[in-house]
Amino acid sequence: MAERRGAPHANGAAQGVGSSVDRRLLAIIPALLFTSRPDGTWDYVSPPFCAYTGRPADMLMGLGWASALHADDQAPSLTRWRIATTNGAPWQVEHRLCGADGVYRWFRTQCAPQHDATGALSSWAGIALPVDSEHQLAAERALRQSAEQARDERDSMLAIIAHELRAPLTVLLGQATLLQRRLDAHESTEPRDRRAAETLVTQTIRLRDLMSALLDVTQIDYGQLRVCTTTLDLGALVGRVVQVLAPTLLTHRLRLRADPAPLWVAGDALRLEQVLQNLLQNAVKYSPDGGEIMIRTASHGDQVQIEVCDQGLGIPADVQPYLFQRFFRARAEDQRLMPGMGLGLYLCKAIMDLHGAALVCRASRARAAP
């Protein structure tokens, strides 16, 4: 930029950026500053600009600054710069500028035309401001929205599949159970046919329970899971569950140590039974060698406590805080990954939360306290 010492300037100090005094002032400002001739070729770059890019000033002069931009941003930035300098209009663009460390960061570069006393374009003065955090936040927001949309679509699909499969599974279970009863009624039925019918019924029940769990998870995610509370004797409910489950276990013994007095609570009997069944099934799963599973019920003031204790593999302390997360599958202390989808305890925790109760795991114990 040519120096114009004698003419008065309508734009004050900005008009004098070509002088050595003004450039010394610009050099001490901790910002990425630059000036340009009227034709759009840069003729000054501040020391902080050079320090950030790791390039000497002469490499950034003229149109050399474009080489410091990301390859995808060079052509668009140069095009808009040429349009601005041709029309004498302010220039503002966001692009990625390479730092001395080789990392590209987002900057908003803006430049304003400077005019002399006659109104003629005499120079350009600009600054590059870091806006990398804004772009990072925008990218994170877009990624989060994309993840939420994908989750919603997945959950919607799971809900549709589970709902559509519920009716045919009910029919299939009914027919499989009927077939099993007919085979059991004939003494001449081959053992392998009995086993086949039993497997058919068992796996159909498993599939039905899985569909119900997926529907429950979807309801939890959308805040639609509800409990229908009535006054009930929780001790009696525990007794019924144990009585039904005990004959089905071949290598485990259920031992119930119950409070003799009724344990009256306000709860949803079906949902509380679902929680207890899941805790007992987990106790069986994590004690594959069999053994005793202890169930205790007790009253402590206005609180009722249920404990399910097994003598199995145990769960490492470092994974216990994650037990109630969706799809989390714990490894036993011997590093065996246990079967399942990791939905059971997640559902149990949600049900207990709806009851205003707590579900905790301590060492090898899972405890529910409605």
pLDDT of residue 4: 38
Structure tokens, 245: 């489950």
Low-confidence ranges of the chain (pLDDT < 70): 1-25, 163, 330-340, 363-370
81: number of Cβ within 10 Å: 22
Residues 237 and 363 placed together within one structural domain of the fold: yes
Domain total in the chain: 3
Q: Is the dihedral of CA 200, 201, 204, 205 positive or negative?
A: negative
Q: Which of 97, 130, 163 is the last residue of a domain?
A: 130
Residues 112 and 161 placed together within one structural domain of the fold: no
130-163, pLDDT tens digit by residue? 988 777 777 777 778 887 788 777 777 777 777 6
Domain that holds residue 340: 230-369
pLDDT of residue 3: 38
Q: What is the CATH number of the domain that holds 167?
A: 1.10.287
pLDDT of residue 117: 87
pLDDT of residue 353: 93
In a domain, 137, yes or no: no
Residues 85 and 150 placed together within one structural domain of the fold: no
Q: Which of 130, 152, 176 is the last residue of a domain?
A: 130
pLDDT of residue 36: 95
CA distance 152 to 226: 20
pLDDT of residue 23: 66
In a domain, 67, yes or no: yes
Q: Which of 100, 130, 160 is the last residue of a domain?
A: 130
In a domain, 34, yes or no: yes
Residues 326 and 348 placed together within one structural domain of the fold: yes
Residues 203 and 297 placed together within one structural domain of the fold: no
Residues 360 and 244 placed together within one structural domain of the fold: yes
pLDDT of residue 366: 43
Residues 109 and 164 placed together within one structural domain of the fold: no
Residues 83 and 59 placed together within one structural domain of the fold: yes
Residues 84 and 163 placed together within one structural domain of the fold: no
pLDDT of residue 360: 86
242-295, pLDDT tens digit by residue? 998 888 888 899 999 998 899 999 999 989 998 998 899 888 888 888 889 999
pLDDT of residue 22: 64
For the chain, give the longest Cα–Cα distance.
120
pTM above 0.75, yes or no: no
pLDDT of residue 103: 93
Residues 319 and 268 placed together within one structural domain of the fold: yes
The amino acid at residue 355 is: H
Whether residue 148 contacts residue 41, with contact meaning beta carbons closer than 8 Å, is answered with: no
